[in-house]
Homo-oligomer: A and B are copies of this chain.
Amino acid sequence: VTNTTPTRRQQLRLDTTAEIKRVALELLASGGPDAIALRAIAREMRMTAGALYSYYATRDDLITALTGDMYTSLVDKTEAARDAHPAEAPAARLLAWGEAFREWAVDNPAGFRLVYGDPVHGYRVPEGGAAPEAASRACAGLTGLVAAAWPLKDQAAEEDYDWDDFDPGLAALVQAKFPDLPPAAVALALRVWGRMHGLVALEAYGHLRSQTKDPARLYRAELRDLARSLGLRDR
């Protein structure tokens, strides 16, 4: 009853669970968050809608699982891109993270909306958020990028902040991972997050494509400006 290979039945169960998610993600990609409907998934899988209830107790449970998967795949990608550059090149790490963020969003606009946008119609997000682990990885990642820049930065431009100004969980996370970092750096990390989010959200929601032919170029310029304003300049 320990960690053996799954029985045939367990394996089929896992396969079906994976297929449900896969189909749900296809619907998400082709029709947006609202297209994720149990009946639609069942139809696509040539199953009865009721049968899905032995895999997920509720539609919202499925959506929570999908949100987690999506968020995780996003953070996996940004972390991998960042880690392709050594710690000695903090600017490259920041740019890589930011570029990966945008690329993921452009590849998965519906996923981006699922994670950062309007909740699915009628969906109630569970307490603690839909994907707490991925969210805190993203948070730690951003803070790490800022932490690498912090000693290089012109501190005079930053205001004073207190740990109380932030969510206790966030404060604890940062203090544990970056003991030397002052609270003002957290404020800066949130601003960096916002700065990356802006153009990417506009593009994911289709507001940018109608204005410029090359959103990637715009975004790259913005990232470089961001790195510069953080005092980062590799080599």
B122, B166, B193, B205: the one within 8 Å of A118 (CB): B205
Q: A210 CA to B191 CA in the complex, in Å?
A: 14
Q: A177 CA to B142 CA in the complex, in Å?
A: 40
Check: A196 CB closer than 8 A to any chain B CB: yes
Of chain B, the residue at the smallest CB distance from A191 is: B222
Q: Mark A153-166, 1 if CB is under 8 A from B, else 0.
A: 00001010000111
Check: A207 CB closer than 8 A to any chain B CB: yes
Q: A167 CA to B212 CA in the complex, in Å?
A: 6
Q: Are B211 and A170 in contact (CB under 8 A)?
A: yes
For residue A218, which residues in chain B have a CB less than 8 angstroms away from its CB?
187, 190-191, 194
A32-B118, A118-B113, A118-B117 known; A202 vs B193 contact (CB < 8 Å): yes
Closest 7 CB pairs of A and B: A198-B198, A194-B199, A194-B198, A197-B198, A118-B118, A34-B121, A191-B222
- Give me 14 A-to-B residue pairs in the complex whose CB atoms sit less than 8 angstroms apart, sorted by A's number: A33-B118, A116-B207, A117-B118, A118-B205, A157-B225, A164-B213, A165-B214, A187-B217, A187-B218, A190-B208, A194-B218, A194-B222, A195-B198, A196-B198
